[in-house]
C-alpha cells in the first residue's frame, strides 16, 4: 500500500478531478443561493402570514427587534407541525387586540386553560430555545440568534464546540503583529 504523498509531489489535475471539482462548486453555489433566498421567497409568498406571526411573536416574547429570517423559519416550522397554525395565529392576534392586554403577563390568565395556550408556549420556546419540538430529532431554527443567549451575549460566550463561538469564521480575524517562531 503506498504511503502518503510527499509534500514535493506535484498534484496533477486530471479531467476527472476537474469535472468533480466543477460539479461540487456548481452544486455549492446553487445550494447557497437557494438557501439565502429561501426566507425572502417565503416572506414574499406568504407576507401576511409571516407579518401576523411576527406581530404575535413580538407580543408573546416582549421583544420588538426579532430576526425576520428566524421568524420566517419558525413560522414555516409551525405550519409543518400544525395544520391550523395560520388560523391559530390570527385567532390569538384578535384575542390580544380585544383584551387590550399590555403584555403577555397580562394576557396569560385569559388563555391559561385555553387549547391555544400550549401553542403560545411553543412559539415562545421557538424564539428562546431555537427549537419548536423536544427530543434528539428536533430541528434547530435558531442557535446564535436564540433569545435565551441575547441578554448575556456581551459577557458570556454562547455554548459551542467552536473555540471562538458560533459563526466565528464570519468575523475578520485578528491581525498578526509578529509571526510566531517555532
Query: What percent of the chain has pLDDT above 70?
Result: 65
Report residue 46's pLDDT band, with 50, 70 and 90 as the boundaries: low
pLDDT digits (tens, 9 = 90+) for 148-165: 777 766 666 666 666 666
In a domain, 22, yes or no: no
pLDDT digits (tens, 9 = 90+) for 95-143: 999 998 899 999 999 999 999 999 999 999 999 888 899 888 888 888 7
In a domain, 79, yes or no: yes
Q: C-alpha cell of 137?
A: 430529532
Sign for the pseudo-dihedral over CA of 15, 20, 21, 25: positive
In a domain, 84, yes or no: yes
In a domain, 6, yes or no: no
In a domain, 41, yes or no: no
In a domain, 17, yes or no: no
φ/ψ of 140, rounded to 5, equals: -95, 125
Say if CB 132 and CB 146 are below 8 A apart. Answer: no
What domain count does the chain have?
A: 1
Q: Per the confidence metrics, is the pTM higher than 0.85?
A: no
In a domain, 64, yes or no: yes
Lowest mean pLDDT among 21-30, 76-85, 122-131: 21-30
Q: Which domain holds residue 128?
A: 47-154
In a domain, 147, yes or no: yes
Amino acid at each position: 500500500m503506498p504511503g502518503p504523498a510527499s509534500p514535493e509531489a506535484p498534484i496533477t489535475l486530471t479531467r476527472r478531478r476537474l469535472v468533480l471539482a466543477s460539479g461540487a462548486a456548481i452544486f455549492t453555489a446553487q445550494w447557497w443561493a437557494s438557501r439565502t433566498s429561501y426566507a425572502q421567497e417565503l416572506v414574499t409568498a406568504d407576507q401576511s402570514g409571516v407579518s401576523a406571526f411576527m406581530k404575535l411573536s413580538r407580543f408573546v416574547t416582549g421583544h420588538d427587534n426579532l430576526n425576520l429570517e428566524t421568524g420566517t423559519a419558525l413560522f414555516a416550522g409551525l405550519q409543518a407541525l400544525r395544520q391550523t397554525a395560520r388560523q391559530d395565529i390570527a385567532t390569538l392576534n384578535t384575542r390580544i387586540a380585544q383584551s387590550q392586554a399590555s403584555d403577555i403577563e397580562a394576557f396569560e390568565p385569559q388563555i391559561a386553560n385555553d387549547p391555544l395556550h400550549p401553542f403560545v408556549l411553543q412559539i415562545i420556546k421557538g424564539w428562546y430555545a431555537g427549537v419548536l419540538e423536544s427530543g434528539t430529532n428536533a430541528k434547530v431554527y435558531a442557535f446564535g440568534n436564540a433569545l435565551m443567549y441575547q441578554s448575556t451575549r456581551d459577557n458570556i460566550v454562547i455554548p459551542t464546540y467552536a473555540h471562538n463561538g458560533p459563526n466565528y469564521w464570519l468575523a475578520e480575524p485578528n491581525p498578526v503583529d509578529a509571526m510566531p517562531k517555532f
